[in-house]
Amino acid sequence: VCMSGVADKRNPVLDCCGGLNNVDYSKVDMSVMEDVLKHIDVYDPRFCVAVIAIIFNPFFWNVVARWEHRTRGLTRLFGGPYLACYCLGTLIILLNVYRSHSMTVAMKAQARWEVMASPEVFYTGAALMALGSVLVVTSFLALGFTGTFLGDYFGILMEEKVKGFPFNVTENPMYWGSTANYLGLAFMNASPVGLVLTVVVAISYQVAIIFEGPFTEDIYRQRAQCCKHK
């Protein structure tokens, strides 16, 4: 396939099964999905609280951080950018602790899925939690507190982009490490509702990345332009 998206006639694209339009969805086995949904009560208040906590956290810190970048309101309130960043970072940590707690409560409140209740699934979950913890901890050590908790928005900029581990493995190790932790927890608890909540976490992080990435790049682009004019 050409880079422009136009198929090269010399190397025709193989269209398996005539494309997705020709798939007979009536023959798709939905029994597994139906079995999972039987174990999930989406009207359970504890499930709803967990979903709200998951969605609220990245929304909150993005709104507050952008407001700070635009107005320097927190910097003025706390008397300096570092103290302001530390206070916001501490609040974010507390919100994430509550999110984890609400997810754990929701998992324990709802039924286990016996299909997942096996040693293999349990140890896979433990491995995911270990991997996630490594990504989260090494990301924090590489960035430091202000680098992790939106210091860029407070004018606390890093000298250069971090390119070592774990950023040479994934561009957002803190987010995906956290997601791996929640997925591992769902596996270890044989919790179908935990799987659903982990999907919500992954989606909320992906949305956050879409907004944070370009905005952060623009902050560093502005600094580079300022340095050129000096």
Q: Which residues carry a binding-site annotation for S-adenosyl-L-methionine?
A: 130-132, 212-213
> Residue 188: which of 109, 107, 123, 100 has the closest Cα?
123
End-to-end CA gap in the chain: 47
DSSP 8-state code for residue 7? P
CA distance 146 to 153: 10
Cα(205)–Cα(211) distance, integer angstroms? 10
79: left (phi over 0), alpha (psi -120 to 50) or beta: left
HEC assignment per residue over 161-223? CCCCCCCCCCCCHHHHHHHHHHHHHHHHCCCHHHHHHHHHHHHHHHHHHHHHHHHHHHHHHHH
Which residue in the block uniquely carries the two structure tokens 């561009």? 171
User: Tokens 């286990």 — which residue?
Assistant: 112
